[in-house]
Structure 1
Amino acid sequence: MVKLFFFLVLIMAVTSGCVSDRGVYREQLDSLPFHYSQFDLQMAWDITVTGSETFIAGVAKNVRYAEMDGVEIWVSALDTKGKTLARSVSFVIPRQLKEGEIAPFSVKLPVAAIPGTTLLFTYRYIAHEDAEDSLKWMQSFRTEVSAR
């Protein structure tokens, strides 16, 4: 009986931790300073420059498909002529993002993305409408780093 009690307490603790994390991600989707919204994905992120590195941390929400598998978010820093200065990727975890779910991502670039730097975001995934239909999708957008 005692083992069952501890097992139930453990299950409740693990489950409540997941629920609170999802709530934090939902808040971040609204509160982070930079946003992107398209038919399939919503993103929000913040940018921190430390020395000669740039950290981009945010959240991504599946707003279209029953499931997205293998979500990757690539970020490139571009110079004024559009040449790539640095590029990095975040493999979103969990690997399967169900419709309405939000997951964190983070990217570290080995350059300082000062105001005026262009960031090229490219995301890709495999979308599943149902058990039979799937497609590979990739989308890109540019944003300029602004002073805050």
Structure 2
Amino acid sequence: MSKITGCLLFGFMVVIFLSACAGTGYQPLNTANYPVFHKNFDVTIGWNVSGKDGATAVAGYVRNNRYHVMQDLELRIKLFDAFGAEKEQKSFMIIPSDLRLDEYANFSVLFGSSPQTGDKLKFIYRYRGVEDNDGAVSWMDSFEAPLK
């Protein structure tokens, strides 16, 4: 094999390898997959609910709408029955711990009971918001939504 043919073959293999890597890389979050959402001045939280095998799964995303960086974002989700009694509570620490402005992070929790008519979710979130070099502001907020 000549030196030119070897170089061409090597170059061809590199192009094929790199194009394969590009095809399986990072996939941006498609918020259209989460038709239920709550938008506030600081965050948008979108989610789906599914029930299977006596459990309720809540999976979704959190988007930073306000701060240069949100640090240590924690999401707590409570499940209530139709009469307002708390059935379960789950917490989820958002990774990465520094969520930059306009970035998204996924979350998922699994409750040990199946979804019932009239059930409600209460989302409680807290974080430290950082704007430039002005230090951090601790913030906490919540909202409720029907389970289905």
TM bin, normalised by shorter chain, reads 0.7 to 0.9
What is the number of residues matched between the two proteins?
132
- The ranges of structure 1 where at least 4 consecutive aligned residues each deviate by more than 3 angstroms after the TM superposition are none
Do the aligned residues in 1 keep the contact of 2:59 with 2:107 (CA within 8 Å)?
yes
Matched, 1:117 2:125: no
Displacement of 1:135:
1.0
Structure 2 CA distance for aligned equivalents of residues 115 and 70 of structure 1: 34
The 8 Å contact of residues 30 and 44 in structure 1, kept in 2 or not, is answered as: no
Equivalent position of 2:51 in the other structure? 49
Q: Is the 8 A contact 1:47 1:54 kept in 2?
A: yes
> Contact conserved, 2:82 with 2:117, CA < 8 A, in 1?
no
CA drift of 1:70 comes to 0.8
- In the alignment, is the contact (CA less than 8 A) between 2:62 and 2:104 conserved in 1? yes
Larger Cα Rg: Structure 1 or Structure 2? 2
Higher helix share: 1
Give a deviation string over 1:94-145, Cα, whole Å, max 9, x none.
Answer: 1110001011111111122223201111111111012232111111100112
Report % sequence identity. 27
Q: Distance in 2 between matches of 1:107 and 1:67?
A: 24
Which residue in the other structure is 1:104 paired with?
106
The 5-angstrom pairing of residues 1-148 of structure 1 reads 13=21, 17-18=25-26, 20=27, 22=28, 25=29, 27=30, 29-146=31-148
Structure 2 letter corresponding to 1:111:
S
Contact kept? 1:72, 1:123, Cα under 8 Å: yes
Q: Which blocks of at least 5 consecutive residues in structure 1 are unaligned?
A: none
Gaps of 5+ in 2: 1-9
Q: Which amino acid in 2 is paired with 1:137?
A: W
TM-score, structure 1 normalization: 0.80
Secondary structure (helix, strand or coil) at the match of 1:17 reads coil
User: In the alignment, which residue of structure 1 is the partner of 2:4?
Assistant: none
Deviation at 1:72, TM superposition (A): 1.0
TM-score by length of 2: 0.80
- Deviation string 1:39-63 (CA, Å, 9 cap, x unpaired) is 0001111001112211111111101
AA of the residue aligned to 2:35: P
- CA offset digits 1:10-46 (Å, max 9, x no partner): 8xx59x823x2x3xx1x1x233121110000011110
8 A Cα contact 2:44 2:64, kept in partner: yes
